[in-house]
Amino acid sequence: MDTACRGVLLALAAGAAVVWGKTSPEECGPAFRGKCLCGVDDYQDRLRQYIVNCSGTGFKDTSVLQHLPAQVQVLVFTGNSIPELPWNVFGTLNNLSELRVVDMSNNGIKDIKGKTYHRVANVERLVLNNNDLTISESGEAHHHHPRVFSNFVNLMELHLTDAFADNVTGDLAQDLHDIFVNSNLTKVKKLHLEQNEISVFKDPDIFCDLPGLMDLHLGDNLLPGIGFNLACLGRLRFLDLEGNRISGLSEGELAMLDSLPARNQSVVVDLGDNPLPCDCSVRRLYTWLQTTRVQVRNKDALRCRGGVVQCEPRSDASSSAGSHYVSNVILGLMFTTVVLLGAAAAFVYRAELNKFARPIKDSVSRKIQYTSIGKPEDQEMEVIKIRSDPTPVPV
């Protein structure tokens, strides 16, 4: 018997009027003061679920959650004002064995106590998006509870999009690692960490304590590259790096990505909306895109600043200039070698060269002597005359 049927039977046994596709305030009971809707309806990808929906109801605390009906499968408690979640938020008496989804988004939550969540062993999806969580040990507030999710032993999806206060981003990655280690989230398949201003992962093994991880969403952060270990994620199938500050990936990062399909692990990577330059500083990434077995989402439409990723001609000119420089150096060395060899040969055969050159030398000397015969005294007087008289005198 599936969980939906069990939920309906429990509701019928409790005397509740269950109607398919219809929720009502009356279904919830007096403790909810008519602010919530309860009943069986479809919820996202889950059909015919018993839902308790307390969205935008203005609750200032969570006391109403201690009166959840036992058959509840989906709890939507969003858009309220709950700065702190107390211990045993669902009470100490309720069993809640049917509960599968807990959505507590957009409640202004700043602190979750270490013993907040109990009786959630069967919850598969926890959504805490758009809150102001502070989990860092630093600062005046000490809200570091590394075992905060330890009771979600069957959790498959953890949604933490824009879930943290902006002033804790410096230590956020380290604190998350502590939570992953101590909460024993070995069955988590999907992890959403978008929009949290994460710029670095100090420990490259931050996700290695999530061995079942398949989809890792890190979009819209401040990451300059991958910066963490993928080799330990043997089931990874999707890596979202969209909208970060990636201007290129190192050889090590590209090799790490290539190692995944090399071990028959099919992986899709999203690199869209990153500040890729359009010159050849991104040549390595551009070449990798054409050859890798990793599936890059929309790689044919991948854009850089100003257009499609490509190498600019100036990089080729620079390469040509470098080649010309090397050629000139080689030619210079060859010329020097020839000159030195010629000088050595001249020294060895100097006697023969002198014998050969003597007739030529004598001929040149005689020619010089003949052309110098004249009237040196007349030439001397002419020079003196020109120098002593500034007015030119015809000669």
Domain assignment of residue 93, yes or no: yes
Nearest Cα residue to 73 out of 92, 45, 108? 45
CB under 8 Å to 93, separation ≥6 — which residues?
Answer: 66
Q: Are both 211 and 340 inside the same structural domain?
A: no
Looking at residue 321, its pLDDT comes to: 52
Looking at residue 198, its pLDDT comes to: 92
Looking at residue 1, its pLDDT comes to: 45
Domain assignment of residue 191, yes or no: yes
Q: How many domains does the chain have?
A: 2
Find the domain containing 65 and state its range: 3-314
Q: Where are the alpha helices (DSSP H) in the chain?
A: 3-13, 169-182, 251-262, 283-291, 313-348, 350-371, 376-388
Last residue of a domain, one of 273, 288, 314: 314
For residue 353, give both structure tokens: 């060269």
Q: What is the identity of the amino acid at 317?
A: A
Q: Are both 240 and 341 inside the same structural domain?
A: no
Looking at residue 89, its pLDDT comes to: 95
Domain assignment of residue 77, yes or no: yes
Looking at residue 122, its pLDDT comes to: 97
Domain assignment of residue 324, yes or no: no
- Give the Cα separation of 240 and 107 in Å (integer): 26
Looking at residue 167, its pLDDT comes to: 61
DSSP assignment of 177-211 equals HHHHHHTT-TT--EEE-TTS-----SSTTTTTT-T
Q: Are both 98 and 140 inside the same structural domain?
A: yes
Q: Are both 206 and 338 inside the same structural domain?
A: no
Q: Are both 296 and 337 inside the same structural domain?
A: no
How confident is the model over 59-108, as pLDDT tens digits? 999 999 999 999 999 999 999 999 999 999 999 888 899 999 999 999 99
Nearest Cα residue to 161 out of 112, 128, 134, 207? 128
How confident is the model over 200-242, as pLDDT tens digits? 988 899 999 999 999 999 999 999 999 999 999 999 999 999 9
Q: Are both 153 and 194 inside the same structural domain?
A: yes
The CATH number for 131's domain is 3.80.10.10
Looking at residue 317, its pLDDT comes to: 47
Q: Are both 250 and 342 inside the same structural domain?
A: no
Domain assignment of residue 395, yes or no: no
pLDDT < 50 stretches in the chain:
1-20, 138-141, 312-319, 368-395
Query: Is there a contact between 246 and 269 (Cβ–Cβ < 8 Å)?
Result: no
The pTM (predicted TM-score) of the whole model is 0.73
